[in-house]
Amino acid sequence: MRLRGSIAAALGALTLVLAVPTSASAAEGQFRYTYVTDEGYEAVGFLNNPPSGQCINLYGVGSDDRRPGHSPKNRTDATAVVFLNADCEGDVFFSLRPHTGGGSERLKVRSVVFS
């Protein structure tokens, strides 16, 4: 009889754990890119543990009146899709593998989304 009670309690606990909403997922790690500041200096921008499934306009390059960033490096545990245009729009994009994905200076970026 005790075994049935224990099993029932365990199943009830499991049901509660599965029913509780989880927090928004995030890609773990860092995403980096290079851009030119308004003063003309090269700088490195980065995102630490960025949210998944949300388009992110990159700092310093996320609008069309600035030069796009370049040389993205994906050191997160998720696939990063970088876009030439802001707001993850347009048909010019490139997918970067988790942990080791990277692009050269020729790969221009303004926005990114993580899977």
H helix or E strand, kind and range, residue 12: helix 2-19
Residue 7: inside a domain, yes or no?
Answer: no
Task: Please tell me the total count of domains within the chain.
Answer: 1
- Residue 42: which CATH number? 2.60.20.10
pLDDT (tens digit per residue) in 78-92: 999 999 999 999 999
Residue 9: inside a domain, yes or no?
Answer: no
pLDDT-derived band at 7 (thresholds 50, 70, 90) equals: very low
Q: Collapse the DSSP code of 114 into the 3-class scheme (helix H, G, I; strand E, B; otherwise coil) and give the result.
A: strand
Residue 50: inside a domain, yes or no?
Answer: yes
pLDDT-derived band at 25 (thresholds 50, 70, 90) equals: confident
* C-alpha pair distances (Å), 100 with each of 25, 71, 78: 21, 13, 10
Residue 58: inside a domain, yes or no?
Answer: yes
* C-alpha pair distances (Å), 59 with each of 30, 34, 67: 14, 10, 12
Whole domain around residue 54: which residue ranges? 29-114
pLDDT (tens digit per residue) in 52-105: 999 999 999 977 778 999 999 999 999 999 999 999 999 999 999 999 999 999
- The pLDDT value recorded for residue 30 is 97
